[in-house]
Structures are given as structure tokens and as C-alpha cells.
Amino acid sequence: MRITVVGTGYVGLVSGVCYAKLGHDVMCVDKDPGKIRILNEGGVPIYEPGLRELIAEVRQAGSLSFGTDLPNAVRRSELIILAVGTPPLPNGEANLAYIDHAALEVAEAMNDRKIIAVKSTVPVGTNERLAGLMRSRSAVAFDSISLPEFLREGSAIHDTLHPDRIIIGADSEEAANKMLELHEPLTDRIIVTDIRSAEMIKYASNAFLATKISFINEIANICEKVGADVSQVAEGMGCDRRIGPSFLQAGIGYGGSCFPKDTNALIQIAGHVNYEFKLLRSVVEVNQDQRFSVIRKLNAIFGGELEGLNVAVWGLAFKPNTDDVRDTPALEIIGRLLDAGAKVRAYDPVALDNFRTLLGREGVTWCGDAMEAAQGTDALCLLTDWPEFAGVDLSRLQAAMARPVLIDGRNVFQEKELLGTGFVYYSVGRPSLNKGVKQPMPALQF
């Protein structure tokens, strides 16, 4: 099939490359010439494990190209996939300006019947509205498909080539059948729905996963007070097949380009039909508060006085295996530390440059490795569960720090590793591991 993918962000790039891998003739277009130049020079504008190699492999076969010429790409394709961003507006609603613009550009370029599939996450009713918009610009017939995307950053290729399910929202049987044929090599779990239900499946899935995370984080907070261990609780809960083990990892809450934006957008979608989504509002509120559990623990240890404290931060990306820093908890946590007068030494294996640009303020020493960041610090906050942190030599770390205070925001370390060390160690929802000071540490001398 000849396919054009509009937008070369995570979704557009990964899905375009994967369709090419399946033997289709794919053109990925982006309005950003800088991204296209990087791709045409053999680079990749995002960090995603395995993506560079897969692009090189499918480009050798000649079935994948990159460009900025959207009209030409549209004219040669039977299927146009819209995968542009739908970032949040200040009020939490999805900003649909990019997808509206892209749809109009596609409409103006259409020369014969096309299938227009929307992979971007869009509020219920958007596909219908876009179709109306396109019809106002073009007399050429087309079929609308809602094709929500469920890949996760960091495992995007695996998720795309081995999806749990494919959802096809369609109002034309012929177009639905073509989409079924396209995705059959990937899975036999393909569900065809009406367009509005497909749009809702995407938001409901993300909102439910976010709910699981906020739920386990609240359980963790209670565990800290009643002396239970949230890791054991999550394991015990997860064995029940009705609950399932995934997304029960307590920590400093969810971040990223999807959960924060999509939970807020769904609250707005509900609000527009006079429905107050109380549960989801609480999920968002719990998540916001959970980020600051790190600061609360530092305050408890240092008697509420963070001014002048040297704090190491390990991990800036919102999750491991990505350089994406959109809505990463590290942003607000480091912001709070700087506001309180602390000095920060930060390290992340791949997200450091993106984070430095995002933060845009002074007061942080950017470090080239984890031990360099820890050097001479009074406390270390682990914010992203990169695998390299779990393998660190704890005695070397203790020797590098001025005071061995470790706040493990992702429960990376195990009890047995900490036993017998001098660390004051606080994790999330595991009070038996929160050993060390009962009283605040003595005030710092400068």
C-alpha cells in the first residue's frame, strides 16, 4: 500500500517505519525541515532504542522516504495517516490547531479517493469535525478512520510490531476492511468500532492506566504510615488476574507527553457535556502531589531547611529509555529545590540537553555521569528508573557523597542492598526501608 504519514514525532516516525518494515511504500512528511534533514542524513531526531537501526534497514530496501512536500506525498498515496501533535492548551483541552491545519493541507492536495486515518489522540467527535473541514476544501471523496495509537516511548518499536490490540474506528466497511488487511500481520486482536468509540477508547485507556498509578501511589502513602510495603502489596494485588500486575509501580507519579495531557483533556471532554469526571480529577490531583513527596522527605530529613543544600538528581526524563522531558516530574522537583535555595547537580543518560533547555534557569550543575553528580552532595534524589542506577556501587556512592542521604523516588533499590550501609534511605511506600534519622538532621554549617 502507498502510505503518507504526516508528522515525524514518535508516533509518525515509528509507525511509518514499521509500516515500511511490513513491505509498504511509506513517505513520512514533516513541516519541520530540520527534522527531515536529520532523517535524510541517517540520523534520528528522537532517542528511541532500535529506531536508527530499523530506519537504516528499511531504507536499504527502498520502501521509506522522508520529505517536506506534503501535497506530492498525498497525491501518490492511497492512505494518509495524520500523526501530528495535539498538545495541551492552558485550560487542559487538546490543541487541535495542528491537526486542523494538516487535514486542510491534505484536503487541498487530494487528487483521487483517499483513506484519511487519524493516529493523533483527539477528543471524541474530532474525526467527524475534521471530515467536515476537509469537505469544505475539497470535492474529492475520502473515508475517515480513527486509528488510535497505543505505543509507549522507550519500547515504541516492539509495541508497534507486537500490539496488544489494534482499534479501527470506521463508518465505511470498505475502508475498515482495508485497514484490517493492513494490520492483520501484526495481531489477530483487531477491533472495529464506530469512530467516536475508537476516539474514546484511547482516552479511556490512558485515563485508566493513570488511575492505576495514582491508586498505587495513594496506597504507598498509606503504607508509609501503617508500616506495610507497597512492593509486596502490588505483587499480591497483581496476581489477581482481574487486577493484573502492570502499572502498579509506586513512585513520584506519571509524567510524559500523554498521561498528563490526556487525563486533563478527558476531564474537559466530559465537562463539555456537563459531566464532572470526579474520579479522574482526583487522579490528576494525586499525581501532582506525589511529585513533591521527594521534597517532603528532604524537608523531613533536613528539618525543613533546604537552603544551601547540595542535592544530586539522577534522572531527568519522564521514564527510562527516552530523551523526552515533556511534563517530566523532574522539572517541578528541581524547580522547587532551586526555589528553596538548594544547589542541584543533575545527570541523565540521554535527556540532559533537552532538560537543560526546558528548565531554562541557572543554579544547576550539569554532570556527565552519575558519580560526578553525586560528588560532595548532601542528598541524592533518584527520579527516573534508568537501569544503570540500579547497578551502581553503593559503597562508592556513599564515599562520593558528603552525607549519604538517598531518596529513591522509583523504588530502584532493594532492602538487602541497603542493609549494612551507612545510607539514610527513603523510598516510596516501603517504610521498613526508610531507615536512618528519626529526628531531623542537624542544621548545615556554612
Ligand X SMILES: O=c1ccn([C@@H]2O[C@H](COP(=O)(O)OP(=O)(O)O[C@H]3O[C@H](CO)[C@@H](O)[C@H](O)[C@H]3O)[C@@H](O)[C@H]2O)c(=O)[nH]1
Ligand Y SMILES: NC(=O)c1ccc[n+]([C@@H]2O[C@H](COP(=O)([O-])OP(=O)(O)OC[C@H]3O[C@@H](n4cnc5c(N)ncnc54)[C@H](O)[C@@H]3O)[C@@H](O)[C@H]2O)c1
Active site residues: 258
Q: Which CA distances in Å does 137 have to 96, 131, 200?
A: 18, 10, 27
DSSP 432: G
Measured in whole angstroms, the distance separating CA 96 from the mean position of its chain's CA atoms is: 19
Is 319 annotated as belonging to a binding site? yes
> 325 contacts which partner out of ligand Y, ligand X, none, CB within 5 to 8 A by kind?
none
> 85 contacts which partner out of ligand Y, ligand X, none, CB within 5 to 8 A by kind?
ligand Y
Task: Tell me whether residue 47 or residue 254 sits nearer to ligand X (CB atom).
Answer: 254
Task: Tell me whether residue 320 or residue 404 sits nearer to ligand X (CB atom).
Answer: 320
Task: Tell me whether residue 259 or residue 389 sits nearer to ligand X (CB atom).
Answer: 259
> 218 contacts which partner out of ligand Y, ligand X, none, CB within 5 to 8 A by kind?
none
Contacts of 178 (CB under 8 A, 6+ apart): 1, 79, 115
Residue 93 sits in the site that holds ligand Y (CB under 6 A)? no
Task: Tell me whether residue 85 or residue 429 sits nearer to ligand Y (CB atom).
Answer: 85
Task: Tell me whether residue 94 or residue 397 sits nearer to ligand Y (CB atom).
Answer: 94
Map residues 99-128 to x or -, x wherever contact with ligand Y holds by CB under 6 A.
--xx--x-------------xxx-------
Residue 185: is it exposed, middle or buried by C-beta count within 10 angstroms (0-12/13-18/19+)?
Answer: exposed
Residue 206 sits in the site that holds ligand X (CB under 6 A)? yes
Q: Which of 21, 35, 183, 297 binds ligand Y (CB under 6 A)?
A: 35
Nearest distance in Å: CB 228, ligand X: 18
Map residues 246-275 to x or -, x wherever contact with ligand Y holds by CB under 6 A.
-----------xx-----------------
Nearest distance in Å: CB 121, ligand X: 6
Residue 59 sits in the site that holds ligand Y (CB under 6 A)? no
Q: At what angle do helices 259-272 and 195-226 cross, to 10 degrees?
A: 120
Alpha carbons 284 and 170: distance in angstroms, whole number: 31
Look-up of cell digits 527534522: 35
> 248 contacts which partner out of ligand X, ligand Y, none, CB within 5 to 8 A by kind?
ligand X
Q: Which residue is nearest to ligand Y (CB)?
A: 9
Alpha carbons 12 and 255: distance in angstroms, whole number: 21
363: amino acid identity, one letter: G
**Joined grid coordinates for residue 296:** 517532603
Q: Which of 27, 130, 213, 286 binds ligand X (CB under 6 A)?
A: 213
Residue 12 sits in the site that holds ligand X (CB under 6 A)? no
Map residues 129-158 to x or -, x wherever contact with ligand X holds by CB under 6 A.
--------------------xxxxx-----
Alpha carbons 308 and 378: distance in angstroms, whole number: 10
Classified as helix, coil or strand, 354 is helix
Helix locations, 184-258, DSSP H = 195-226, 230-238
Alpha carbons 16 and 6: distance in angstroms, whole number: 9
Buried/exposed 260-294: b ≥16 CB within 10 Å, e otherwise: bbbbbbbbbbbeeeeeebeebeebbebbeebbbbb
Residues at the interface with ligand Y (CB under 6 A):
6-12, 29-32, 35, 70, 83-86, 98, 101-102, 105, 119-121, 149, 151, 153, 257-258
Annotated binding site for substrate: 150-153, 202, 247-251, 255, 319
Annotated binding site: 30, 35, 86, 121, 150-153, 202, 247-251, 255, 261, 319, 326
